[in-house]
Amino acid sequence: MIETIKGFLILTGAVFMLLAALGILRLPDLLTRMHATTKAAALGVILIMLSVAMHFGEVAVVARAFAIIVFVLMTAPVAAHVIGRAGYFVGSKLWSGTVKDELRPNYDPLTHELKSGLETDINAVHKPRDNDPQ
């Protein structure tokens, strides 16, 4: 019975990783590709690590497998967010079917300033720094 569960977890994890790879190839823009790879690949890694923990059953291996799961859960969304935002800032084109662009009203592509939308008259004034280009 345990062999069946382990096999199912490995195969399901591999299928999710395959879907993540297909998402990179098939999806139209950076943001949708990041969404596919973060969600599907993270779930694939988690399922495979659960299978590894079940297969070996030793405390050291189980602890490492769960540490990997926690690490993936903590870092994958943050990395995808940072890469997606960097892509947006360098001018990566959005898909024509994108319905909402929440950064557009708050981001100035000329100065690369991103406003929070909570600025007042006092803190919205740009104060040049010493290292700003002239």
Which tens digit of pLDDT belongs to each residue from 5-56?
Answer: 999 999 999 999 999 999 999 989 888 888 888 999 999 999 999 999 999 9
**What are the residue ranges spanned by the domains of the chain?**
1-92
CA pair distance 77, 39, nearest whole angstrom = 8
What pLDDT, on the 0 to 100 scale, is given for residue 45? 95
What pLDDT, on the 0 to 100 scale, is given for residue 108? 79
- pLDDT mean over 67-75: 95
Which tens digit of pLDDT belongs to each residue from 112-133?
Answer: 777 776 766 666 666 777 776 6
* pLDDT over 90 at 69, yes or no: yes
Residue 107, beta-bridge partner list:
114
What pLDDT, on the 0 to 100 scale, is given for residue 51? 97
Q: Max Cα separation, the chain?
A: 70
Which tens digit of pLDDT belongs to each residue from 72-117?
Answer: 999 999 999 899 888 888 888 888 887 777 777 778 778 877 777 6
What pLDDT, on the 0 to 100 scale, is given for residue 74? 94
Contact yes or no for 74/41 (Cβ under 8 A): no
CA pair distance 12, 26, nearest whole angstrom = 20
What pLDDT, on the 0 to 100 scale, is given for residue 122? 66
